[in-house]
Amino acid sequence: MAKTSKKKKTADSEQDQPQTSGKPATTRRNGSTKKSRTKKSSSGETAQNKPRRSKAAKGSSKGRRILTWIRFILICLAIVAALLIYLFDLSRVSSNAMMPTLAQGDLVLSFAPGFVSLELKPGQIALIRNDQNEAAPNFLRVIANNGETVSYNEDRLSINGIALSRVRLTNAAIARPEDEPDIWRENVQDTYYKISLPQRALAGSLNGSIQLAQAQAFLAGDNRLASYDSRQAGPYDNSQIRGRALIILESMRDDGVLGHWMKLLDL
């Protein structure tokens, strides 16, 4: 009986040992599950925060790109504006010396680079300096240059003894007021332009001849008998020519809606 009781005690003790050893095991498992849950929750939070951060980064990069493009466009506009100011000129016509091509008050865009002196071809319209004489016209047409000889007799001009050809455009059979001038088409070196002449010849003393130097030009107005030009002032040096007239941006004459803007000049 004693042996059997001992065996029972040992069996009971053996059965009790795994139970005691199982308790901490359960606690470890519970601890590990808690840690895994915390890891999962932390990983879930980071996964949720990642798209938010990426969206913010994308937005900031887009904003930087937009700012860089805006700066680039502003720099380009500043460069273009500086070039336009330095290469071109906007001037109002100061007189009617260039009628019918230019009227007093017309806004003209001219190519006028400040770093070179221009030598225009005959037939082109020159923007000239009239600082000394404010009453003088600021636009005149180049008739000759480079050492040629120009003779003038009132409105008639000759280069090296050859008179400039002209054709009358106004119909002489139509009665018109006497103060309305006739329109003629004149030609110099294959450049055709209109000139304005009174219906009746005016007697005057504009008669002479000029021998041009290599850096000089003979300039005349299209309103031939009402312009102050080389016939009175003598030849113009190339340094007095500021630029070449290109476009009438705004015309003072009533030529319709389209005719009031943007007219090309003898290009």
116: pLDDT confidence band, cut at 50, 70 and 90? confident
For the cut 70, the answer to whether the pLDDT of residue 13 exceeds it is no
The answer to whether residues 73 and 52 touch, using CB atoms and an 8 Å cutoff, is no
Q: Compare 217 and 267 and report the one with higher pLDDT.
A: 217
CATH class for the domain made up of 93-264: mainly beta
Dihedral sign computed on CA atoms, order 116, 119, 125, 128: positive
pLDDT per position as a tens digit, 153-194: 989 999 999 999 999 999 988 888 888 999 999 999 989 999
Nearest to 109 by CA among 123, 91, 128: 91
**pLDDT (0 to 100) of residue 111:** 93
Give the residue extent of every domain in the chain: 93-264
Side by side, the strands of the sheet bearing 191-197 are: 166-168, 182-188, 191-197
C-alpha span between 41 and 33 (Å, rounded)? 12
18: pLDDT confidence band, cut at 50, 70 and 90? very low
**pLDDT (0 to 100) of residue 33:** 47
For the cut 90, the answer to whether the pLDDT of residue 220 exceeds it is yes
Query: What share of the chain in percent tops pLDDT 70?
Result: 71
pTM above threshold 0.85: no
Q: Which of 16-25, 161-170, 218-227 has the lowest mean pLDDT?
A: 16-25
Contacts of residue 129, Cβ cutoff 8 Å, sequence gap at least 6: 138, 240, 241, 242
Average pLDDT over residues 239-243: 91
